[in-house]
Amino acid sequence: GENVEQHPSTLSVQEGDSAVIKCTYSDSASNYFPWYKQELGKRPQLIIDIRSNVGEKKDQRIAVTLNKTAKHFSLHITETQPEDSAVYFCAACSLGGAQKLVFGQGTRLTINP
């Protein structure tokens, strides 16, 4: 089955700097890659997703890149703000089979003012 590895587990950046979180997946059939943000005590919320037919997607300060050959995808947050502090989870899903989301272990991002 699919296995998703996420790095780093914790990340601390200065406000205004960029943050990058990386994930690798094992199943070459996976073709949908969402990113969820979970603030302390709150629910996971989808912030951006990408499908395997594109290499990059951007939404304001957030972008996701996908390298299908290397089987890795990354989340990029630019001009970080204190409200970006949260745990971020990447996930992968295969169109075939049970079509389940497999989550990475999460990255705790802290933005220092």
CA 70 to chain centre: 16
Nearer to another protein, 71 or 103 (CB): 103
Torsion sign across C-alpha atoms 2, 3, 8, 10 = positive
Q: How far is the CB of 2 from another protein (least distance, A)?
A: 12
Q: How far is the CB of 16 from another protein (least distance, A)?
A: 27
Instruction: Write out the residues near another protein by the rule CB under 8 A.
Output: 31-32, 34, 42-46, 49, 51, 89, 93, 95, 98-101, 103-106
Instruction: For strands 19-25 and 62-67, give the pairing.
Output: unpaired
Q: How far is the CB of 17 from another protein (least distance, A)?
A: 24
Nearer to another protein, 10 or 18 (CB): 10
Quick one: CA torsion of 37, 35, 75, 96, rounded to 10 degrees? 170
